[in-house]
Structure 1
Amino acid sequence: MTKTNLITGFLGSGKTTTILHLLANKPANERWAVLVNEFGEVGIDGALLADSGAVLKEIPGGCMCCVNGLPMQVGLNTLLRQVKPDRLLIEPTGLGHPKQILDMLTAEVYQPWIDLRATLCLLDPRQLLDDRIRQDDNFRDQLAACDIIVANKADREDSASRQALADWLSAHRDQRHVVATTRGVIENALLDTPRATDRTLPDSPAHQHSHSSPRGLGALSLPEHQRWRRSVNQGQGYYACGWIFDSDTVFDTVGVLEWARQAPVGRIKGVLRIPEGLVRINRQGEDFHIETQNAAPPDSRVEAINGQETDWNPLQSSLLKLRLS
């Protein structure tokens, strides 16, 4: 049986960073796999996890509870039957609802295959100060469904966010384990925490997504001879636009960092080719993290997510001007 964990958390809470840390510290003799789902279409998390040493399956474009018919089951079945990992980490989008995923993982058909362990929920406590996020059904239900709350971004906390988390736990009479950390650094032993089986989970709220292209089992790729492509998605009051560029496209380093920092959207995430190799960009609000490496990625891809309807054309025009090749 495959030890399995669901890693949840709202947009920008640090799920992918946490998974990268867990993979970097996995036992050398174990084979791990990751099933990742993103709100957007271009597969940024897949690019970030590509060199992690784990077997990766992507389900882009929406949330797993919307697509956990055929795409979710095919991706899961492929990993369980063909890869046979020692551990499987499942990362839904930050706009995903956990109940239907957990219902599927605990279904009788998967009993011989899955040993479901603790569900972890990544939380930036500052999100509790945002009325829109706090009232979001998915945010609420991700916290309700988890066994361990990982209070991430402790380096960004202040007295207001600390008090907000304390008030939330008090209001919910919550006795679950809370781990405070920075950059998703947690002990791998947390994954083996037993899952609570007596918790009643709220039903998934009704929601829909619209897409600019059909959904599939892998991230968006470019047709032959096409230099770049754009894809949009929207649902649950959020709007996403992603761009993917071919392997010959290189971006001006300073320019693309300024583009990401100043973009008038709530979230920017990407892996892009620059003259120095690659840059990983992760911006949530005013939090801006970058990482550079000498090795170049096979392509460049970047995605913007915003909490209101957005005209993507000006952002796209300024991005296209930053291409060096």
Structure 2
Amino acid sequence: MRNKMTPVYILSGFLGSGKTTLLTRLLQHWKQEGLKPAVVMNEIGEVNIDSLAAGADVPTSELLSGCVCCTIRADFAAELGMLLQRDRPDVIVVEATGAANPMEILDGVAEASLYLNIELQQMITVVDTPHLLHLHREQRAKTYRLMQEQIRCANVLILNKTDRLSQDELSEVTEIVEKWNRSAAAFEAVRCHVDLEPMLSAVSRSEQSAAVPEGAVDDEIMNTPGRSFKGGAASHDTHAHVMSYTHHLQGPLDSRKFEAWIRELPRDIYRAKGILTFQDTASRYLFQYAFRETDYTRLPQEVELRDVLVFIGEQFDRTALKQQLQKLSEPT
């Protein structure tokens, strides 16, 4: 088994927003850098025409007739594992169907990271700006809410098709987007033409971002006028809105200390899962945490998986979490 962690990027955005165009540009960029990219493409239908965009030289797995976040979740982890073992890529992009729930996709990748040497690099959402403006003005329920969630969960936003908007319309769209997710690094684009280096740097910088103190973001700040996306990435103190943290444990934990620590997790962390070994028992456990409820499932002795924990939430302090877990791992 390789110890190298393979970065995974999730590419999100509503149907027709330009995800596949951005994917093509990303793949070309990585190949020029001497890296070997791979793609997992998810489509609700039985045929995925977009898979042709990756090219014959890019390893590609297709998940058809269902969505990662519901009917084919188990297949998703299996496909990732097969891709890693068969093709040994340097980077993986998951292009999610435009109808997918972004939080469930994040959760699916986080779950796969328990068993595979992958590291989630957060979500890039492509926004069809004319479509968003139309939906916002009409307030159409399901599609509008889904697009809103795709924007809220992103660490990087590509505001695409801006050539189809007037300056006033573009200002209206940026105000909408910033109200939903003031933390994301955002880039205006036409046909997804963006400078990929700062875009990818914005994604990876999320590992170093500091959490926003509780109560520091209020409606007044969220709606402050004059904050602009022009000229590339918006300037923010942090852009980690919905975020994750993967921690590889160095040894067994004290079960009582761990349970006491879990009870005090900040409410900003609303999902966690992992593989755990405790000092006071010979068994290993699959650990699950959701909205302050915990569950432990005993694993068979023959299961050979590294001990790891994955956390998902909004603007929590990764550094503090890491330090606390390192302290929990210290021998008693």
Mark yes or no: TM-score above 0.5. Answer: yes
Residue 154 of structure 2, aligned match among 141, 146, 161: 146
For 1:37 and 1:108, locate their aligned partners in 2 and report how far apart those are by CA, in whole Å.
Answer: 16
Structure 1 residue matching 2:38: 3-state secondary structure: strand
| CA drift at 1:33 | 0.2
Given the alignment of the two structures, is residue 186 of structure 1 paired with residue 194 of structure 2, yes or no? yes
| CA drift at 1:198 | 5.9
Q: What's the counterpart of residue 114 of structure 2?
A: 110
Q: What's the counterpart of residue 35 of structure 1?
A: 40
Structure 2 residue matching 1:39: 3-state secondary structure: coil
| CA drift at 1:108 | 7.3
| CA drift at 1:77 | 1.3
Residue 82 of structure 1, aligned match among 75, 82, 86: 86
Q: Percent identity over the alignment? A: 26
Structure 2 residue matching 1:121: 3-state secondary structure: strand
Contact 1:10 1:95 in 2 (8 A): yes
Q: Which amino acid aligns with 1:184?
A: C
Contact 1:118 1:191 in 2 (8 A): no
Change (3 A) 1:202 1:47: farther
Contact 2:132 2:147 in 1 (8 A): no
Residue 25 of structure 2, aligned match among 15, 21, 25: 21
Residue 125 of structure 1, aligned match among 119, 123, 129: 129
Change (3 A) 1:202 1:159: farther
For 1:45 and 1:202, locate their aligned partners in 2 and report how far apart those are by CA, in whole Å.
Answer: 34
Change (3 A) 1:113 1:161: farther
Once the two structures are superposed, what CA deviation does each residue of 1:160-193 show, in whole Å capped at 9, x if it has no partner? Answer: 5313312313533613211011112233332342
Higher-Rg member (1/2): 2
TM-score w.r.t. the length of structure 1 is: 0.56
Contact 2:155 2:183 in 1 (8 A): no
- Can you give the 5+ residue segments of structure 2 that lack an aligned partner in the other structure? 207-239, 244-267, 272-332
- Can you give the 5+ residue segments of structure 1 that lack an aligned partner in the other structure? 204-325
Given the alignment of the two structures, is residue 175 of structure 1 paired with residue 215 of structure 2, yes or no? no
Once the two structures are superposed, what CA deviation does each residue of 1:93-114 show, in whole Å capped at 9, x if it has no partner? Answer: 1101111221122237537511
Bigger fraction of residues in helix: 2
TM-score w.r.t. the length of structure 2 is: 0.55
Once the two structures are superposed, what CA deviation does each residue of 1:258-278 show, in whole Å capped at 9, x if it has no partner? Answer: xxxxxxxxxxxxxxxxxxxxx
Contact 2:156 2:186 in 1 (8 A): yes
Q: Which amino acid aligns with 2:174?
A: A
Q: Which of structures 1 and 2 has the larger relative contact order (alpha carbons within 8 angstroms, sep 6+)?
A: 1
Structure 2 residue matching 1:171: 3-state secondary structure: helix
Q: Which amino acid aligns with 1:166?
A: T
Q: What's the counterpart of residue 260 of structure 1?
A: none
Residue 49 of structure 1, aligned match among 51, 54, 58: 54
Q: Which amino acid aligns with 1:56?
A: T
Change (3 A) 1:112 1:75: closer
Change (3 A) 1:31 1:98: same
